[in-house]
Amino acid sequence: MNPLSLLTSPDAVKAAMAECDQLGREAFLDKYGYKYSRLYPLHYNGKTYDSKAIVGVAYGKQHGTALKARDFSGGLATVVPALSRFGFDVKEASHPVVSLVKGTTYFRKDLLEQYGGQLQKGIWTPREFPVVLMFTGDSGKTYGYSDGWTDGIYQYTGEGQSGDMTFTPGNKAIRDHRENGKDLLLFEDLGKGKGVRYTGLFECASWDEISGTDKAKQPRKIIVFNLIPVETSATNTDIPIEISQPIKDQSLKELRQAAYAASGMDKAISKASDAKRSWYVRSAKVRDYVLARSEGICEACDEPAPFLKKDGSPYLEPHHTTRLADEGPDHPACVGAICPTCHRRIHSGEDGALWNKELQKRLKAKEAH
């Protein structure tokens, strides 16, 4: 039996929130043994609360003993309906790419509170959101490296201060972000007490191992990621990202083979310009195949493309179903050729998440053969 079905008093919920106000968020969570509920926050009277903790404590306000965190699961299937039936406002938090504004300065403590992460690290891997947060600044020079732009590529040095850099959890998260469905968000550290500036959404095109020194001035190998800035239909309303016209003398089978070969990641490319060129070439091969596969029909709603481009080819847009970036090479089973309406519906519609899941099923079935 779901214990939350016995929570029938909205006054108990209000009492739990009042205690949280009195103790403070951290003390309240520590007292009852709960963690942050960042993905499904409870909003009430202009304040934000941790939905699972509030429900568990509210149960105690009504029945005498608060529920422990292990007594029930949180989220959409349990806590959200328990609070919604009383009229409380609980909505899934926006993806960080949608919430954050490029060029805006934030403070790490606020980012940590909103999204989670590892405060003292240069690479954060939040538990509740499909993102990797990367921080760059002049402090890296102390440890023998510096980040920066080269030929349209942002070269970002991995984590690790002593000895050879390896694929620690943070470095591995960047390298494998596409496979894991994570978006890469880059922040520039402005100096002590000045916050961090959000630079934008990126894709890891490749990575290199170069020679350098550690903080003790000892020689070592350094991992440098080649990051490409990308756009998403979720935040960019000005520039449509269309799928290119496929090469007409190639069969669907040949296009498919090229797309699968292109969907992986390059390990090491000596020049940033070469990494960028390779990324775009591989991306185009995936797009070419996806468009040919669609045969001019939206793969989400089964309607014909809304219009033809000047070259006579159907206009559809690429959508990456496992992350927000709408650009870059990816496994063909994760990229759909869809009409602009479906694209906006997925990114901005009330049923966008469900529409996206249905598209994922369709694409998986198409690529099962």
Q: Is 274 helix (H, G, I), strand (E, B) or coil?
A: helix
Residue of higher predicted confidence among 330 and 241: 330
pLDDT of residue 41: 95
- pLDDT at res. 240: 59
* Residue 76: band (very low, low, confident or very high) from pLDDT cuts 50, 70, 90: confident
For residue 177, pLDDT over 80 is answered with yes
Instruction: Give residues with Cβ within 8 angstroms of 180, minimum separation 6.
Output: 130, 173
* Least confident window among 23-27, 31-35, 214-218, 278-282: 214-218
- pLDDT value of residue 239: 53
Least confident range of 27-31, 145-149, 279-283, 350-354: 145-149
DSSP string, 227-241: EEE---TTT--SS--
- Average pLDDT, integer, range 8-37: 97
**Cα–chain-centroid distance for residue 342?**
20
- pLDDT for 139 beyond 80: no
249: pLDDT strictly greater than 90: no
Confidence class for position 140, pLDDT limits 50, 70, 90: low
**pLDDT number for residue 215:** 80
Whether pLDDT at 241 is above 70:
no
Categorize the per-residue pLDDT at 244 as very low, low, confident or very high, splitting at 50, 70 and 90: low
pLDDT of residue 161: 84
pLDDT at 275: 85
Average of per-residue pLDDT across 236-262: 75
Give CA–CA dist 219/163, Å, rounded: 8
Alpha-carbon gap, residue 152 to 181, rounded angstroms:
24
Q: What is the pLDDT of residue 332?
A: 94
Q: What is the mean pLDDT of residues 269-293?
A: 86
The answer to pTM > 0.95 is no
- Of 9-23, 174-188, 209-223, 292-306, the poorest mean pLDDT is in 209-223
pLDDT of residue 143: 62
Is the pLDDT at 267 greater than 80, yes or no?
no
How far apart CA 328 and CA 257 sit, in angstroms, is 17
pLDDT at res. 308: 93
Beta strands, E only, 214-278: 219-229
C-beta neighbour count of 236 within 10 angstroms: 13
